[in-house]
């Protein structure tokens, strides 16, 4: 089994939201995504999709997008982005995919997954305090997202304790966030504090597009965490092996 990641696929097969209005980088992006996915991912692999998955407003608009993803190889673990307005409770989302037979799709919400030697946790994240648009309201959202990230990583730690004690093996800890948890200078943030304290090895993120990708963290920071931008356009719509 191999682990892959791609974020910001921005599907709209059930609603009218063409992405080519954002420039030539997004021309035919669904066909390019399918081709890139099938070239990289095999049926036994797992793909992490760190938010901005669909423009749908509800489940009825969402289903064509999930059916498209389900038809692609591999298991898919989805987390929330800032444009995933369809996102709901874990129970409702799991019930919906079960009813539709979309068994290859799972959701990351206050939980964690163990796949091979990889522990997968995460949350959406939010704007960072040094962002010029950061407000008092954003501070409240940031605090909530900190709590959700910690809850998910604690869940992962419980899985790790049981697995490592039983099997005597070391697990790689992966956090998937939609918003980048730091910047290209690897400045400490409320998120990096949590990632470091929970022993995260790799942090994948999305949200940044085009020239904006330059402001995100790339590579290994001072505390040893590898940061990877997995925005679909940054990856040319081909899932990246993690």
Residues 40-58: tens digit of each pLDDT? 999 999 999 999 999 999 9
Task: Please give the chain's pLDDT, 242 residues, in tens.
Answer: 899 999 999 999 999 887 776 778 888 999 999 999 999 999 999 999 999 999 999 999 999 999 999 999 999 999 999 999 999 999 999 999 999 999 999 999 999 999 999 999 999 999 999 999 999 999 999 999 999 999 999 999 999 887 766 566 789 999 999 999 999 999 999 999 999 999 999 999 999 887 777 888 999 987 899 999 999 999 999 999 99
pLDDT at position 229 is 97
pLDDT at position 210 is 79
| Antiparallel, parallel or unpaired: β 3-5 and 46-50 | parallel
Distance separating alpha carbons of residues 215 and 72, to the nearest angstrom: 31
Instruction: Please give the model's pTM, rounded to 2 decimal places.
Output: 0.95
Question: Which homologous superfamily is 3-241 in?
Answer: Metallo-dependent phosphatases (3.60.21.10)
Distance separating alpha carbons of residues 1 and 45, to the nearest angstrom: 5
Give residue limits of the domains in the chain.
Answer: 3-241
How far is residue 150 from each of residues 102, 153, 175, 204, 235, measured CA to CA in Å?
29, 5, 11, 16, 28
Instruction: For CA atoms 173, 238, 30, 19, give the dihedral sign.
Output: positive
pLDDT at position 167 is 64
């Amino acid at each position: 089994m191999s682990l892959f990641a791609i974020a910001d696929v921005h599907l709209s097969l059930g609603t009218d939201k063409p992405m080519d209005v954002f420039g030539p980088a997004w021309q035919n992006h669904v066909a390019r995504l399918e081709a890139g996915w099938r070239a990289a991912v095999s049926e036994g692999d797992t793909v992490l999709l760190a938010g901005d998955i669909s423009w749908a407003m509800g489940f009825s608009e969402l289903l064509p997008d999930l059916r498209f993803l389900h038809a692609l190889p591999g298991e898919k673990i989805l987390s929330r982005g800032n444009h995933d307005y369809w996102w709901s409770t874990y129970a409702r989302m799991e019930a919906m995919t079960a009813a539709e037979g979309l068994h290859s799709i799972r959701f990351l919400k206050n939980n964690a997954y163990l796949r091979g030697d990889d522990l997968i946790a995460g949350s959406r994240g939010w704007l960072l305090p040094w962002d010029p648009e950061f407000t008092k309201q954003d501070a409240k959202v940031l605090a909530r997202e900190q709590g959700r990230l910690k809850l998910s990583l604690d869940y992962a730690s419980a899985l790790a304790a049981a697995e490592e004690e039983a099997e005597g093996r070391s697990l790689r800890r992966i956090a998937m966030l939609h918003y980048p948890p730091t910047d290209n200078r690897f400045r400490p943030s409320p998120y990096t504090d949590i990632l470091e304290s929970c022993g995260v090895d790799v942090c994948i993120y999305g949200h940044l597009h085009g020239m904006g990708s330059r402001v995100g963290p790339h590579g290994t920071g001072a505390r040893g965490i590898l940061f990877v931008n997995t925005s679909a356009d940054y990856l040319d719509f081909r899932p990246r092996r993690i």
